[in-house]
Amino acid sequence: MSTLKIKYFQLISCCFIIFIVSFYNCGNNGLRKIKKSRKIQVITDNNANCYYLYKNQPMGLEYELARGFADFLGVELELITPQWQEMEPMLQKNQADIIAANLTITDNRKQDLDFSIGILPIQQFVITNNRNDSIRNEQNLAGETIHIRENTSYHERLLQLQENGIDLSLQLYADLPSEEFIRRVSIDDIALTIADSHIARLNRRYYPNIKLAFPIEEQQEIGWAVKKGNRELLQKINQYFTQIKENGTFDKLYNKYYGSAEIFDYVDLLKFHERIDKRLPKYETKIKEEAAKYGFDWRLIAAMIYQESHFNPRARSYTGVRGLMQLTLVTAREMGIKSRLNPEQSIKGGVKYLDKIYQRFDDISSEDRMKFTLASYNIGYGHIRDAQFLAEEQDLDKNKWRTMIEVLPLLRYRKHYKKTRYGYARGTEPVRYVERIMSYYEILRRQGIN
């Protein structure tokens, strides 16, 4: 072989090696950079569904998932919250490692980004005011203006509908969150918007006069995005999501933020919002005073009182309990209360009794302890301990509220309650009771009532 040919093959070989090394590094330098810097930079959105501060504490499903992933890698978490249209360019310029911002996985986006496995199934819905009966299907969108944020999956889908011949108009906004569009629909400032199902159902609690009119897209999924070719980092992300879905961590986080979103009673929520304005102020000072004595969040107590009596001091149940906090005569006497119909005495006695129960659940972690306490206030301490006994029988974690959701309803059935000390109970009621209180509590929190 001639010297020229040898040099030619050597050159080709070198180029091939350089290509392979470059290709390998392209796929793996993202994770290597993270481990070297001991820090992962995550782009997210500053809103109620991704990341926000509550009393200077970071909150949000995407935030908690990102924090968990940073712990999974053993590195620090740095959050970046640019405007919506800046997210992908920042990732492409290597100014961050991941986008974790409620990003829907679409074919168009997969041309420029690599996505993790799906985190959460969602579906796009047309959102209207519930007085609007004219929008029932896609054809009804003809001639209408729909308000959305640009460069979203909603934008992508509506452009498809236009291409399919539906003569709708788009009013695009640069960086407005879905929650704001939903609020504007609720006050008739705009007629139509689009929102993902989990966002719409959650916000229906705060704006009960909105309606999920109909879906405009098949079911999709939310995922995390990385720069094209960042294979090793993507593999780690998928490994993390698989792990937290298998061990229950993801369900726990989802229920924390969206678990009660399906609980929706239009009339009740309208009354709740009305009575927050008209009735709650009469009792707010006393609720705050009594809650502070025991270190309770006064808004949780307010939510509980609404569930018990709708802030009606003369409320009376068919079981004979009376007043704002629906105390039995025996409990009122035990707590030193002379008149259950006196609002201040009822609040004082009810919160004192709640604390008494709370202290008895010192074996429950702080996160679930109050839910056990509320359930006991509703159905009785003994029935909750019975449910824990049934949980142990089934090798379930008796100290987790998610277990109680599963086990408490069993107290309705003889084959289960015959094994217990306190017997039959309407076990579905305390589950519903706790879920409603937590829903009301979340509304008070998210509305910024302090």
- φ, ψ of residue 228 to 5 degrees: the values are -50, 130
Give the span between the Cα atoms of 316 and 263, in whole angstroms: 25
Question: Are 40 and 76 within 8 A, CB to CB?
Answer: yes
Give the span between the Cα atoms of 407 and 420, in whole angstroms: 13
Residue 218 burial (C-beta neighbours within 10 Å; 0-12, 13-18, 19+): exposed
47: DSSP letter: B
137: DSSP letter: S
Give the span between the Cα atoms of 96 and 99, in whole angstroms: 8
- Residue length of the chain: 450
Give the dihedral sign, CA 390/395/400/401.
negative
Question: Are 286 and 347 within 8 A, CB to CB?
Answer: yes
**Under DSSP, is residue 243 helix (H, G, I), strand (E, B) or coil?**
helix
Catalytic residues: 308
In this structure, how many other beta carbons lie within 10 angstroms of the beta carbon of residue 58?
14
First to last CA, the chain: 85
